[in-house]
Chain A
Amino acid sequence: MISRREFLQATAVAGALTVSGGLGPLGRAAAQQRLSQADILRFDPLGTVTILYLADIHAQLMPLHFREPSVNLGVGEVKGLPPHLTDAAFRDHFKVAAGTPDAFALTSDDFVQLARNYGRMGGLDRVATLVKAIRAERGDDKVLLLDGGDTWQGSWSALKTKGQDMVDAMSALKLDAMTSHWEFTLGADRVKEIVEAAPFAFLAQNIRDKEWNEPVFPPRKVFERGGAKVAVIGQALPRTAVANPRWMFPDWEFGIREEELQKQVEEARAEGAGVVVLLSHDGFDVDRKLASRVKGIDIILTAHTHDAMPGLVRVGDTVLVATGSHGKFLSRLDIAVKDGKVSDIRFKLMPVFADAITPDAEMAALISKAREPFAADLAREIGRTDSLLYRRGNFNGTFDDLICAAMMEQRDAEITLSPGFRWGGTLLPDDPITWEAITNATAITYPNCYRMEMTGQQLKDVLEDVADNIFHPDPYFQGGGDMVRVGGMGYAIDIARPMGSRISELTHLKTGQPIEAGKRYVVSGWASVNEGTQGPPIWDVVRDHVAKAKTIFLKPNTAVKVSGA
């Protein structure tokens, strides 16, 4: 049994910080509670096994800003439970003081001021410094480095090299194993090609070929660390073939496959595994449910929903880790194994403050070389922004407002639809909008920006369908992602209602008139999962819009009225 130790080691340094009591937003910049590399690494070691965990890097080799959501609603049994807490509620729950580095890293309010104080986060050269330091402290034979997937997609260089820049960087980090989701949008052949050559394991117990129902990838791998056998079972996003274009991997089927997973756990135990880890791209709520149904998993390393939590969530004898996204955090778990079983776990979510951590020279050189062919393009300034541009939030994000405005103008549309992707960097007011910033929010392998007619009924059906994918009370029916972003049309949503009756009051914003079910509207959107979608790539649409506008200013988006939360 894992001890009842309080897991809330919120970066373990929180206690050492001077809490900025009473400082207003503008005063916080003066607080300067910067962390040092030593603060970030500080950890009271335990046992003989250390797991280091990264997920959802989305191909971000370089430090960036990434604003966490201010709206992240849970439904059904998980309403109001972590990770469905934001801002003050999140800080209260995890005992994080406002204005601190942790508050900046984990919550969204006062983001601009804090970002100017604490600087960017992430960067694989910084991550490499932390990983090397921990390996040196613990010894290579005790440390396992795992990646939850969504690693090979999300930047221009990853798109152009078909993920090779990330594969090279993760190989240099001496990654032990990963699982996957967006990787599959490189196409089945490319994924197979990478996996065959990669020095790390690519694990997925829940992918089968359609013809024979045989596993496509190894389901698990057992590692010997610190005298213990650690079984790592991979779980790719169960909804990959629904969420992304399945024509890119037409012979594969996914699904949760609980029973097969249970068998994997039992086989691993029978082989003498003292620690059983599920390296999962299910998403947090799916994994929380799964942990209550599949027995014998010690640790679930969650991914997909991009949650970052400075504490573990326990379900029965299983603990869940949420390590955040975009390279902002590195999770460290020290595990004590006694009599062939986990006896204690100690956890720290290490924030990767780019200004505090000395970049690892080897990794910095590798990254620089990988980016070199694209460096001039990436740095090109297209325009500037007066507004904070961010992605996360259940219903809208200002970067998506920008994309919707671009489609509206460049594609002469009445209504625009932009997918509720949770990845892509954040730009601060006065930041340049570079080609890198645009492509960090748009770089996918199915970027065509379509223009077509849809009826009011079809628009409602789309919103209902996507809403059910997020707000279905049973997490097994959720697919991750946020609500589709809508330009030119307002609507009301009651998230507590069932499929088909959540969406109402559809309004054509330009005229103020209700959207008519039978009327046809000119709609532009991107990231269609259909093969053969026509239109220019979305990054060109956004570029042309930004170049024309020169400076982007966005009014607050009030087009979505939310109830039932």
Chain B
Amino acid sequence: MNKGLSGLSRRDAVRAAALAFAVGAISPRLAFADEKAVAAEIKKLYGDKKMAEGKIKLDVPEIAENGLVVPVNVEIESPMTEADYVKAVHVFADGNPQPGIVSYQFTPACGKASAATRMRLAQTQDVICIAEMSNGDLYSAKANVKVTIGGCGG
């Protein structure tokens, strides 16, 4: 039910939360994905099919407390019947070394199209969610998550 889209690289992708301010683990500059890379991934799956807004509740924090384990919850509005259900949900991020975060497949037997996991975010970036309905309709939602070096509050 929960398989990685692209086998997110486990390389030490830096700039996780609390880094620079203090003990200076200096990181190599990695190549990061961008909007285009996300668009290319989506195109691979769905071609140039139109996306609508709505139906998706994408719940991510405005500011990541720990860039290594950022919670992401998705919930898609659907009756989840044989006639009308959510088939698949994909989550992407446009500022990681690889754009894929997770893909979920659903069946009407799931009863509810919702899922929660945690993702690593290398830097402040957009998280993009695509939902594919049983009739082929596509929906998308986007949210920005800020990954900060922290400190200095108060």
- Please give the residue numbers on chain A whose beta carbons come within 8 Å of chain B beta carbons, in ascending order: 150, 181-182, 237, 239-246, 253-256, 304, 417, 419-423, 450, 452-455, 458, 461-462, 465-466, 468-469, 474, 476-477, 479-481, 484, 499, 525, 527-530, 532-533
Contacts and interface: CB of A to CB of B under 8 A. Distances in A.
A529 B151 contact: yes
B20 A242 contact: no
Given A462-B20, A533-B22, A255 B151 contact: no
B23 A533 contact: yes
B72 interface: no
A458 B152 contact: no
Nearest to B154: A481
B63 A530 contact: no
B154 A255 contact: no
A477 B62 CA distance: 6
21 contacts: A181-B154, A237-B153, A242-B150, A243-B153, A246-B65, A246-B66, A253-B65, A255-B62, A256-B62, A452-B23, A458-B20, A477-B63, A479-B63, A499-B124, A527-B151, A527-B152, A528-B21, A528-B22, A528-B151, A529-B22, A529-B150
B63 A528 contact: no
Interface in B13-57: 17-24, 26
B152 A455 contact: no
A538 to B, nearest CB: 13
Interface of B: 17-24, 26, 61-66, 71, 124, 146, 148-154
Nearest to A530: B22
B136 to A, nearest CB: 31
Given A253-B65, A256-B62, A476-B62, A481 B152 contact: yes
Contacts of A479: 63, 148, 152-153
Given A241-B65, A255-B61, A479-B63, A419 B20 contact: no
A462 B119 CA distance: 24
A455 B26 contact: yes
B62 A420 contact: no
A492 to B, nearest CB: 19
Given A241-B65, A242-B65, A465-B148, A423 B154 contact: yes
A453 B20 CA distance: 11
A529 B154 contact: no
Given A304-B154, A477-B63, A481-B152, 16 more contacts: A239-B63, A243-B152, A243-B153, A243-B154, A246-B65, A417-B21, A420-B152, A455-B26, A462-B21, A479-B63, A481-B153, A525-B21, A528-B21, A529-B21, A530-B23, A533-B22
A242 B154 contact: no
Contacts of A532: 23
Contacts of A528: 21-23, 151
